[in-house]
Each structure stands twice: as C-alpha cells, then as structure tokens.
Structure 1
C-alpha cells in the first residue's frame, strides 16, 4: 500500500511538467529574425539584431517550459514580396512561432498582415510606420521600439521650439518615408511652423545632389531627412559638400541611430539632434549589456538591437507565463505584462500592440567633447512615453475587431 501510494505521489508530481511540455507545439519554441542584412539598413539592424536575439535566448537559459528555444534568421533585402515568401515558408514548413525585427515599414506591414491571417505573433523593432498599430493593427502584432510619431515629437519638436519653423523634406519613397514626413509635417504645422515642400528619393540612392539642391533653393530653415540608414548618411555627406549647413540651414536626421553616427563620424554628424529609445552610455546597466553584445558583434548596440533583445525576452516571458506557445494565450500575456528590462523601464503594451516607454532626445557631440570611440551622444531631454506615442484612441486602430 505504501509503495502504491508513493508511486501515485511520484506520478502526480510528474503531471504538471508533462502537461506543460505538451503545450509547446512541435516540442520547440521557434523564433525568426527577419531583417535587412546586406542593404542600406544592415548596420541599423542586421546581424547585430540576430546576435541580440541569440543573447536574449542564452540569458533566458536556452529553453522555456522544459523545451528548447530555436532561432532562425534571413535577409529580406528590403522587399515586401521576398519577406512575405520567407515568412510564409517559416510558418507553413518550419513551424516558426513568432517573427521579429522586420526592418523596413513596407516589409513589416506585409508580414504583419500575413501573420494575422496565419494567427502568428510579430514583434516589430526595426520599422517605423504608425500604421502597424494604426489602421493596419493586428491582435497578434506588436510595435516595440520607435515609430514615426515618436521621432516627430522628439526631433521635430526640439527644432521647432528652437526656431526652425520652416521645413523642406527629403523623403524615402516608401511607406516609412511618407509616414515620417506626414507625422513631422503635421507636428511642425500644429506648432505654428510651415512645410515649404518635399522631394522623394528611391531607397538606396547614392547621389543626392538634385534633391539637396531643391531643398537648398526652398530657403527652408530645416531640411528634414525622412529616411534612414545609409540614405541619411549619404544625404548628410552631400549636404556638407554643398555647404548647406554652413550657409545657415539645419539638417534634421529624423531617424538616425548610433550605428549611422559611427559610420559617418563625429566631424560630419556633430550637432545633429536625433531621437532614440536607448543609448548604451546612459547607465551602468546599459554599459554592461553593451559590453556583452559588443563582444559578439564588435560594435555598440543602438535602440533596435537593444529593443530586439527586449522583444525576444518578453516573448519568452509571455510563453512561460501562459504555460504554452499558443498564439492567443501568448498574445494576451504580451498585452498584459509590464516591460521592465535593460531596454525599457515601466513599459506597458496598449491594446493596439504599441509598447509605450520613454524616448530620449540626443545631440551628437563635437569631436572635442567625445571621451572616446562610441561616446557620441549628449542627452538633451526625455520624451515621456505618453507624449511620444499615440494613444489607442488616436491611433486609428479598430481594437473592437480583435474580438471578432
């Protein structure tokens, strides 16, 4: 009788672990990092985002609910059709549970739309358009790092307040550029400024001469660079050759991160105002994280890399809390759980999937003020999350449709 009872107790003790293990589909939690690894945004996200995701998995212990965590990655080449084909194959053949990073807004929108159809989770860290949590929102879609509204409020707001009340935009000719131009332009006009015009350029432009001449001839006090990555760097280099800043016009790098400042150099980038959600030299915690990631990549992380680490970590926490990798249960936990990690403090996820946390306005240091390589930013101000990001009501997201 004692042996029977002991056996029953032992069997009962195994039940929770067995039940928990059965809740992981295909006996593995599989995450995909889909981003630009060879084009204009390769430094912006690229392989450093992949390494950040790997580090998050390692820090989590390599498994969740007793099952291994697997990471795969691919280069979408900034093309929505290629990204959609990769994502479909990942879901249908490779049983990927969630796709993250998704640099380039057109790519992110396409993959998020497919993921809603497939009932899979996306966490966007590399794209900017507010449409992700606006009219094209999804119950399974999350926007984790920055967006065009936050950039407009941060960088655009600082320059308007400083007297930059007339603007001309150099805009990347796709969804991200349009959104950034519109959001910043609206903010300028709401604060008494004027938009004098805009010109759009193809992604990956190498010669900005004609675009810069139009901006210069507009007479605008501020030339807003509604682009990113190598496009922004090329535009800044071209502006220096034309003497645009020396003649009195200001450049606003509306999406410019540490990676691009490093590539461009302080001599060319000094004085730029820019908005990021994270900087490696803000705290001891950030520095320790940056040191560990730099050992893997050879470079200091920007907000996209740190945000990808946060997104992967929070997803795994949600799987653990839900006791399953089932999409609806994990999505519910992602909406419910606070975000508290090296990337975001007191972060919260709105019903539309927008993660709200504080952003920061920085000024790029002059070479004489830098204490060494990668010491590039001077913090100007904090942009509270409630100001940086749109509320659910203002976003245009029909959250009621999530319940249908």
Structure 2
C-alpha cells in the first residue's frame, strides 16, 4: 500500500467513525430537566440542593436500564426564591430559550400555581414534588402537571384523623397565610369535623415569620385541646420551639399537632423537643431495604443528611418521567409523555411502592403515619420514627370524583 493510498484509507476510516458517532448522537432523544427549588429560604432544608442530588441519583440509576442510552439527559437548577413572578419567569426562559422539557420541585403552593400555567401553555411537564395544596389536582388541575409526593388532603387525612380519634376533639390552627396554609387548614379542619371534633378558630401568620409569641398566646387562650400547625419548614420549627418556651405541649393541657412535618424538621428540633409528635409522610428512609439503600446513598452525597419526602419525590418522579419519555419516544410533547406514564398502569416505585398516575395528575401511592421516637429509642443517626400505620393508596388520597378537577369526566 502506497503512502497516498494509506492516507486515503485513514481519512475514510476517520470519516466513518465521525459519521457513526454523529448518527448515534442524532438518534438519541434529548431530554432536559429543570429543578426549580428553594435554595436558601424556609424550605431549602427539605428541598434545596438535596433535590439536585436526588435527581442526579435518579438519572444515574435510569442510565443502568436497558435502552436508557437512547436518551441524552441534561439537568439545570435555579432558586425560585419562593416568589411567583421569579419562578414563572425562570420557567418561561428555560422552556423558550434553553430547551427544558420538565420542571420539578416547585417549592410552594403559590409558586406551583403560578408556574403550572406557563408549563401548560408550552405543553411541557410539571413534576410537582414539593408544593402541597390539593387544589393542584382539584380546581386548578392541569393536563401537564403531576402532583407526585403528597398533598394537604393526604397529610391531613392521616395526622388529624389519628389525633382526633385519640381524644383531641377541640382544635385551634396556627396557619401560614398563603395558598398552602389555607388549603392545609381547610383540609385538616374537614377531617377534624368528620371525626367528631370541633374547630374553635385559627390565626394566620406571614410566610417566613420569626416571632410566633402573639399567635401562640391566641392559640393558648382558645382553650383548644390541640393546636394544629398548618405551616411548614422553618415556620413550623420556630412555632414548636417557641411553644416549648411557653410550656405548650409540656403541661398536658394542650398538645401540638404538626400537619406537615419532615424528617429534616425533626432533626432540627431534636428528639427531646419533638418526641411523641405524629406526622403523615410519603417516605421514610428506614422503612425497608430499598428505602434504606436510597437513603444511605443520598446521605453519602449530601453531607450525612438523610432525604426528606420531597427529595425522595424528586428521585421517584424523575425515574417515572424518564421511563415515560423512553416509551413515548420524545420529550417534546408533554401531554404525550404523561399519557405514557398513565398507560404504565400501577408500577412498583422503589421508594413509594405501587404507584398509579390518575387523569387529574395525582400520583397515588401509600402514605405512612409515623410517631417521633423518644431519645432513648433512637439507635442510630436519623433513626427518628416508629411506623404507626401504613395508609393504603386507595385511602391515602382524595377520591377522584371529589376533587373538582375539570379533566375528570
């Protein structure tokens, strides 16, 4: 072979390799996820960068599945600052200019309700894993939104029912004064009345409040047996800490009931303060072999901190979404992707167990009623709960017919 001939062969071989690589790249399905979370505010502990780590774990685990190499997956994240205008603006920019196909987390109910219409207009997908209001699958339901982890109806149904049935018949609520708090107070109050209790009143406080003295005094003055905390994150932590300073919950006359508590809240409070509290959650890392595996892998990457249910929801929903994109053959048509997810029927989610996606966007799975352990009962780091009951999927969430979702016929 002459030098000239060899050069021609090498050139043709290089061109063939480049063509093969280009063809393989062209055949890949591009899909881009955007995490819109609270990175530094009241909900950063339950979400924040932990959501990013959980989503990365989901992408890594998905890539181990057969055929997963057909998807070219990218990930971006941003701080919503818990402001509706900022969140909606980021969502619009991501979709219009950066090719984002699905947005997950959405840390507050107000942010979710403001952002979902933008996502619907662009026919992309909202994976709501952090916002709580049950209106997301009720009057404000969307064909482009999935409410994955929990909602105000579900957490109220577990905790408020258990406390009322145990003898806590009179209630007074301390409520975060925005969409989430209002929905949680509404849903919890309905459960109290349904189980033979009575709501004596409520007081509402600003979001990200610091001083709860006046609100707690009103709750104490109500004479209610149960002070229901219809707030979340740092607001709940501050309420419980300041209640202890007033002796509320310690003298036996009145008890606190947190309607939305996370494992990260218990970690911040400590078992000495939090012991005995009931809470309803979609996820506990120490429940079984699969949840422990995820919890330990997550903690190893997140400074030893174990996952909240919203962080677990990011992992779970990402896996389900990517599976649906693979089935649909494209991420561009959001409604088609969600149709593929619904068509999967009931699938065995590694963290939440058997899960089904309904037409109203509600992901239906089991919920857990937990009780915070006494300090002497905890045997290892983040060993915080006893499982009181498992709430079956068919009981855990509001019946489809009762939500008022316009998509339900």
TM-score normalised over the length of structure 1: 0.92
2:15 — aligned with what?
Answer: none
Q: What do the CA deviations read for 1:46-97 (whole angstroms, capped 9, x no partner)?
A: 1101110011111122894624200100110111111001101101111100
The verdict on how the C-alpha distance between 1:281 and 1:67 changes in structure 2, with shifts beyond 3 A counting, is closer
Is 1:320 matched with 2:322? no
Distance 1:328 1:367 in 2: 48
1:8 — aligned with what?
Answer: none
Q: Counterparts in 2 of 1:29-68, with a 5 A limit? A: 29-61=31-63, 64=68, 66-68=70-72
1:391 — aligned with what?
Answer: 399
Distance 2:28 2:227 in 1: 53
**Contact 1:152/1:184, CA 8 A, preserved across alignment:** yes
TM-fit CA distance, 1:191: 1.5
Distance 2:25 2:330 in 1: 7
2:362 — aligned with what?
Answer: 354
Distance 2:92 2:347 in 1: 29
Q: Would you identify which runs of 4 or more consecutive aligned residues in structure 1 move more than 6 Å?
A: 17-20
Is 1:304 matched with 2:310? yes
Is 1:375 matched with 2:383? yes
2:280 — aligned with what?
Answer: 275
**Contact 1:49/1:101, CA 8 A, preserved across alignment:** yes
**Contact 2:28/2:70, CA 8 A, preserved across alignment:** no
1:212 — aligned with what?
Answer: 216
Q: Tell me which moved more, 186-195 or 170-179.
A: 186-195
Q: Counterparts in 2 of 1:4-403, with a 5 A limit? A: 24=29, 28-61=30-63, 64=68, 66-247=70-251, 248-298=253-303, 299-325=305-331, 326-337=333-344, 338-399=346-407
User: Helix, strand or coil: the match of 1:382?
Assistant: strand
The verdict on how the C-alpha distance between 1:20 and 1:346 changes in structure 2, with shifts beyond 3 A counting, is farther
CA RMSD of aligned residues (A): 1.9
Distance 1:400 1:301 in 2: 34
TM-fit CA distance, 1:341: 2.3
TM-fit CA distance, 1:116: 1.0
1:3 — aligned with what?
Answer: none
Distance 1:78 1:41 in 2: 9
TM-fit CA distance, 1:342: 1.9
**Contact 1:340/1:346, CA 8 A, preserved across alignment:** yes
User: Helix, strand or coil: the match of 1:399?
Assistant: coil
User: Helix, strand or coil: the match of 1:340?
Assistant: strand
TM-fit CA distance, 1:400: 5.5
**Contact 1:345/1:357, CA 8 A, preserved across alignment:** yes
**Contact 2:125/2:335, CA 8 A, preserved across alignment:** no
Distance 2:374 2:352 in 1: 28
TM-fit CA distance, 1:339: 3.4
Structure 2, gaps ≥5 residues long: 1-18
TM-fit CA distance, 1:236: 0.3
TM-fit CA distance, 1:373: 1.8
Distance 2:205 2:228 in 1: 13
Q: Would you say how many aligned residue pairs link Structure 1 and Structure 2?
A: 384
Larger Rg: 2
Structure 1, gaps ≥5 residues long: 1-13
Distance 1:187 1:276 in 2: 17
Q: Tell me which moved more, 355-364 or 279-288.
A: 279-288
Distance 2:25 2:224 in 1: 61
**Contact 1:276/1:360, CA 8 A, preserved across alignment:** yes
2:7 — aligned with what?
Answer: none
Distance 2:190 2:362 in 1: 21
TM-fit CA distance, 1:22: 5.6
Distance 2:179 2:187 in 1: 12
2:4 — aligned with what?
Answer: none
User: Helix, strand or coil: the match of 1:114?
Assistant: helix
1:6 — aligned with what?
Answer: none
